[in-house]
Amino acid sequence: MNSPFIIAEIAQAHDGSIGILHSYIDALSKTGVDAIKFQTHIAAAESSIYEPFRVQFSKQDKTRFDYWKRMEFSLEQWKNIKQHCDDVGLEFMSSPFSNKAVDLLEKVGIKRYKIGSGEITNLLLLEKIAKTGKPVIISSGMSSLDELDSTTKFLKEKKINYAILQCTTAYPTKPTQYGLNVINELKERYDVKVGYSDHSSSIGACIAATVLGAEILEFHVVFDKEMFGPDAKASLTIKETKKLVKEVRKIAIANANPINKNNNTSFNKLKTIFEKSLCVNKDLPKNHIINFNDLEAKKPSNRGIPANDFNAVIGKKISHAMNKWDFLNESDLI
C-alpha cells in the first residue's frame, strides 16, 4: 500500500481574502501534504436568499447567500491561485457547487473533482462533471448507502473513475461519529479507492483511518481554531497538519512492511541478552535432589539450562556441591 494521498482543505478559511488564501498555500507547502483544496462558490448559481446558515457565525453577512457572494473569486484570481499551487508543488483542487463553477474550474485547469456530500444526489452537477471525463472523489458525509449506490451507478455508466471518502457531517465530529468501520464496508461494497474525510479537529481519526487502509485523507486546515468561519473549530492547525503528515507517512511504511511473527531470527542477539538460564538460589550439597524451590532464572540465556526447561531438571541429583546463584548446566546433573 502506498502512503495515503493527503488533501488539506482550506474551504472558506481565507474568509474571502485573496492574501490570506495565498498565505495558506505557502504555509501548507511546508507540511508535506499532497494537495490543497478550496471551494468554488458562485452565489447566484448555487444559492438563494432563502438558504439558512448551517452555523450562525457571521456578523457581517445578513444571509448565507451574502456569505457565498463574499467568498467568490474571479477567473483571473483562480488562475493565480492554481499557479501558486503549481509553483510550490501542491495539487490544486476545488469543489464546485454549481455547473457555472465547473465551467470556471475547467478554464482554470483542474486534474480531478471533489464532490461534497451535499452534492451526491445532485445528478445535474454530476452530469456536468461527467462531461469533463475527469476523475472524482465523492464524500459520503450525509449519504445513505442507497444514495451512494445510485450515485456510483451513475458514475459507472458515465465511465468516470471515482473514489469514496467515509465522512460524517458534524462539526466537529465526536469519536462516536467517526464511522471508521465504514472504510472497509465501502471498499467491499464498491471495490474502489476509499479514504476518510475528517472534521474531528484532531489527528487521531486520520491516523486510525490510515491503519485501517484509507488511501485518501482529507481534513480542514486553519491558522487558528479561534478564527472566524464555520469550519474553524473542526479544523487542524498548520502545526497539527505537519504532525499528522509525519505520522501518516510512518504508518504507511509500517503497512507496507508486515512483520512475520513466525520468524524471529533477527532477535537472536537480543534474546541471548534478555532471556534467562537456570541457576540455584541457595548453597546445595552434592547429591541434592533439585526441587522447584531451589531454582531461579538469571540473564543471559547462554550460561546454563534454558529457564523454560525447568521441569526436566526437577527430581534430578546434582553431581557436586553448588554455591548460591551458580548457573545450572547438564554437566551438573546425574
What the chain holds in terms of domains, given with CATH numbers, is 5-255 (3.20.20.70), 265-332 (3.90.1210.10)
Question: Which parts of the chain register pLDDT below 50?
Answer: none
> Nearest CA to 166 among 152, 146, 150, 186?
186
Give the integer Cα–Cα distance in Å for 303 and 276.
Answer: 8
Q: Give pTM, 2 decimals.
A: 0.86
Per-residue model confidence (pLDDT) at position 60? 76
* Conformational region of residue 166, where left means phi above 0, alpha means psi within -120 to 50, and beta covers everything else: beta
Annotate 146-185 with DSSP letters as a single string. HHHHHHHHHHHHTT--EEEEEE---SSPPGGG--TTHHHH
Handedness of CA 182, 1, 88, 110 (dihedral sign): negative
Per-residue model confidence (pLDDT) at position 171? 86
Per-residue model confidence (pLDDT) at position 64? 83
Per-residue model confidence (pLDDT) at position 57? 63
Give the integer Cα–Cα distance in Å for 200 and 189.
Answer: 25
